[in-house]
Structure 1
Amino acid sequence: MTETAAVPTALLRARAEIDLGALRANVRTLRARVGDLAVMAVVKADGYGHGAVRCARAAVEAGATWLGTATPEEALALRAAGLTQRALCWLWVPGGPWRQAIEADIDVSLSGMWALREVTEAARAAGRTARVQLKADTGLGRNGCQPGADWAELVAAALRAEAEGLVRVTGLWSHFACADEPGHPSIAAQLTRFREMVAYAEGQGVRPEVRHIANSPATLTLPETHFDLVRPGIAMYGLSPSPEIGTPADFGLRPVMTLSASLALVKRVPGEHGVSYGHHYVTPGPTTLGLVPLGYGDGIPRHASGAGPVLVDGKWRTVAGRVAMDQFVVDLGGDEPPVGSRAVLFGPGEGGEPTAEDWAAACGTIGYEIVTRIGSRVPRVYVNEEERG
């Protein structure tokens, strides 16, 4: 997990400011929507680029009682950092670190018989009962056990392993395909299928601690999907799962990351001056150019070439020409802010700066990708680390 220290020299180039106060407030807002139900703070992919350990701690301070990761390595890193809350990891491959996860008291997700066989072998070797959750494919078509005979086989085998003391089935769960598209017919179909698969497992004798299917959009808009636990991911970081269901402000959320850099150069150029590789931008007349020392090596999408918005000297500018590996250029239109002036790529939008959603729209992608792809070369600078009394 990349939680980069804030180094003074690096701060002169770029920084991703992470507002842990905003994250705590977002978690509390999400908790208020679900009442007494449990909240799993999803911190996979290094906390969606925000820093998994720091964000996990802040989420726990705000009342999250579970942590969620994709890979076992991510979950084990949380344990190594001293986080002892219930944790679930769900993306396994054969030969994974099952025993380490069992010994670290991590819940592991099973989608098929091969995974059950491997976790029971690891439980025997460890001399400990493994906490397992059975994942149902209710229609996403990705990970998860198919309904019907496959589900019946997995449930029966898990119950046999439970009777032997090798596993404890702690959860039954699934994931939506289109919860971010209001009214999509798959939502009701998946919810019905999930209820059926849960009812079957419980009818066979499974007694889960938690049943869960609600991701961020379902947490925000589909209360009938909340069951025992909700799993907010992107919403915890203050981004909306999709423009169709509303803006962050509509849900009382505030973006947590602000990405900025210091202008490395400001210079005057004549008209018809080519800018960056391929000269896809040529100045229409005499102007000034500002050099922003961030590029696709830092996670700035190359698709933002000619489109990405940046706030410099109080005005929105646009990436001029191609984004290169380490830098890109903005046309300052004749303005001459001092070298070192702050260029804000995205943030909450409260100071007139673009948001991650503005960048997503410019690149034809989603806000998740914009924040998650910011690389380790950009220091994370944490603010509001302490709770205010």
Structure 2
Amino acid sequence: MNETDAPGGAALRARAEIDLAAVRANVRTLRQRAPGTALMAVVKADGYGHGAAPCARAAVEAGATWLGTATPQEALALRAPGSGVPAGVRIMCWLWTPGGPWREAIEADLDVSLGGRWALDEVTRAARLAGRPARVQLKADTGLGRGGCQPGDDWTELVAAALRAEAEGLLRVTGLWSHFACADEPGHPSIAAQLTRFREMVAYAEAQGVRPEVRHIANSPATLTLPESHFDLVRPGIAMYGISPSPEIGTSADFGLRPAMTLSASLALVKHVPGGHGVSYGHHYVTPGATTLGLVPLGYADGVPRHASSAGPVLVEGKWRTVAGRVAMDQFVVDLGGDEPEPGAEAVLFGPGERGEPTAEDWAQAAGTIAYEIVTRIGARVPRVYVNEGSGR
């Protein structure tokens, strides 16, 4: 176990326990879904709130050969001494803005994504300064409408410019890639349209002389449900943390995944109150009768969504309770219905569900959002506690 200790060895107010054995098992399951392809473990946003470096190490232990991040800073942190990420693991980052740390990325042997000529111009200048070629992956916008190069003249120009830079020894085109818009909705017409467009754009680039190491478009839902999209590499993100990317078509258990994060806190106070007692800001909850209230020392500053006020579920002493009134910055209240747990008793907001506790998906439903947001928003004020750190292949 590795945890951030409270001052003086005091008990933790709250904790997010991360089961690295679950991460490894999920990566193995995802590899089985895409046999014969490489797997990029996406650890952006601090590993979706789970901790980038520990989860990256666990994923590599389970067979991931690539890591993916959004920002170059995230990728550089994984290359830094002390991250524990093996030097031979390929790392890709894709969310660049003008003036980014291109030279540092080249010197750190990162794969960088290019979706337009401005980025190609900046990376080639950085390669000249670094005195070594950049590893670049060309991103195609096949229909998502976010990052990436448009098909047609824009793609033609980007491919031609990349090949000229490659001929000058300034870069190596290591990948061609794209991203789905609706892979979590099987049968959506955009899926087939994007696959067709991706194949066309890849075919054009290869006909011009691009020889990529990997071609990839499959995110978590596509890895699980769309084998024709697997190409050379799959890029699961949320699924490697055990959360279903598409609860409408399957739960985590249906996909053979186990949620890795359990968020809990110690009750800070238990007290008796009479009926008609207002609770929390605005008195949106008023006790219907004499009862007991429990104070949970977590709030929206810790990532508990305020939108889950009067709705978020919590397990206390084997019973589901519901947030009573508004979630505040640092705390919220649950109505214990007359039960009298001791202060310090565990309140579990979510976990795998194996002990009857709510899941991140339950909180997503309560807050009107997706489980991705629930786990990713858990703040740095909540210590991460890692269990099952041994490789356990």
| TM exceeding 0.5 | yes
- 2:143 alignment partner, SS class: coil
- 1:245 alignment partner, SS class: coil
User: Which residue identity does 1:252 align to in structure 2?
Assistant: G
- 1:338 alignment partner, SS class: coil
Would you say the 8 A contact 2:268–2:294 is kept in 1?
yes
* Cα distance in 2 between the residues matched to 1:265 and 1:10: 17
- 2:254 alignment partner, SS class: helix
Q: Deviations over 1:136-162 (max 9, x none)?
A: 000000000000000000000000000
* Cα distance in 2 between the residues matched to 1:77 and 1:10: 30
Partner of 1:224: 228
Partner of 2:55: 55
Q: Does 1:112 align with 2:111?
A: no
User: Which residue identity does 1:29 align to in structure 2?
Assistant: T
Partner of 1:211: 215
| Structure 1 residues 366 and 208: CA distance shift in structure 2, 3 A | same
Moved more, 239-248 or 85-94: 239-248
Q: Does 1:5 align with 2:4?
A: yes
Instruction: Give 1:147-296 correspondences, 5 Å limit.
Output: 147-296=151-300
Partner of 1:361: 365
User: Which residue identity does 2:342 align to in structure 1?
Assistant: P
| Structure 1 residues 11 and 144: CA distance shift in structure 2, 3 A | farther
* Cα distance in 2 between the residues matched to 1:155 and 1:372: 35
Q: Deviations over 1:304-329 (max 9, x none)?
A: 10000000010000000000000000
Partner of 1:345: 349
Q: Deviations over 1:37-79 (max 9, x none)?
A: 1000000000000000000000000000000000000000000
Q: Deviations over 1:182-206 (max 9, x none)?
A: 1111000000000000000001000
User: Which residue identity does 2:43 align to in structure 1?
Assistant: V
Shift of residue 11, structure 1, vs aligned partner: 4.4
Would you say the 8 A contact 2:281–2:326 is kept in 1?
yes
How many pairs were matched up?
A: 387
Q: Deviations over 1:191-238 (max 9, x none)?
A: 000000000000100000000000000000000000000000000000
Moved more, 80-89 or 322-331: 80-89
* Cα distance in 2 between the residues matched to 1:281 and 1:11: 30
Would you say the 8 A contact 1:139–1:176 is kept in 2?
yes
TM-score (norm 1): 0.98
Shift of residue 35, structure 1, vs aligned partner: 1.0
Partner of 1:20: 20
Partner of 1:387: 391
Instruction: Give 1:76-95 correspondences, 5 Å limit.
Output: 76-80=76-80, 81-83=83-85, 84=87, 85-95=89-99
Would you say the 8 A contact 1:6–1:380 is kept in 2?
no
Partner of 2:324: 320
* Cα distance in 2 between the residues matched to 1:320 and 1:214: 41
- 2:341 alignment partner, SS class: coil
- 1:23 alignment partner, SS class: helix
* Cα distance in 1 between the residues matched to 2:323 and 2:377: 18
- 1:251 alignment partner, SS class: coil
Shift of residue 82, structure 1, vs aligned partner: 4.4
* Cα distance in 2 between the residues matched to 1:97 and 1:291: 45
User: Which residue identity does 1:279 align to in structure 2?
Assistant: H
Would you say the 8 A contact 1:238–1:253 is kept in 2?
yes
| Structure 1 residues 277 and 10: CA distance shift in structure 2, 3 A | farther
Shift of residue 130, structure 1, vs aligned partner: 0.2
Shift of residue 245, structure 1, vs aligned partner: 2.3
* Cα distance in 2 between the residues matched to 1:5 and 1:334: 34
Moved more, 74-83 or 104-113: 74-83
TM-score (norm 2): 0.97
Shift of residue 6, structure 1, vs aligned partner: 3.9
- 1:214 alignment partner, SS class: coil
Q: Does 1:297 align with 2:296?
A: no
- 1:249 alignment partner, SS class: coil
- 1:139 alignment partner, SS class: coil
Post-superposition, which runs of at least 4 consecutive aligned residues in structure 1 deviate over 4 A? Answer: 8-11
Would you say the 8 A contact 2:53–2:84 is kept in 1?
no
* Cα distance in 2 between the residues matched to 1:106 and 1:206: 19
User: Which residue identity does 2:106 align to in structure 1?
Assistant: I
* Cα distance in 1 between the residues matched to 2:317 and 2:84: 43
| Structure 1 residues 4 and 198: CA distance shift in structure 2, 3 A | farther
Q: Does 1:37 align with 2:37?
A: yes
Would you say the 8 A contact 1:305–1:319 is kept in 2?
yes
Give the percent of matched residue pairs that are identical in Structure 1 and Structure 2.
Answer: 84
* Cα distance in 2 between the residues matched to 1:4 and 1:367: 24
Can you give the 5+ residue segments of structure 2 that lack an aligned partner in the other structure? none
Shift of residue 99, structure 1, vs aligned partner: 0.2
Would you say the 8 A contact 1:67–1:88 is kept in 2?
yes
Moved more, 336-345 or 74-83: 74-83
* Cα distance in 1 between the residues matched to 2:258 and 2:19: 9
- 1:78 alignment partner, SS class: helix
Would you say the 8 A contact 2:324–2:335 is kept in 1?
yes
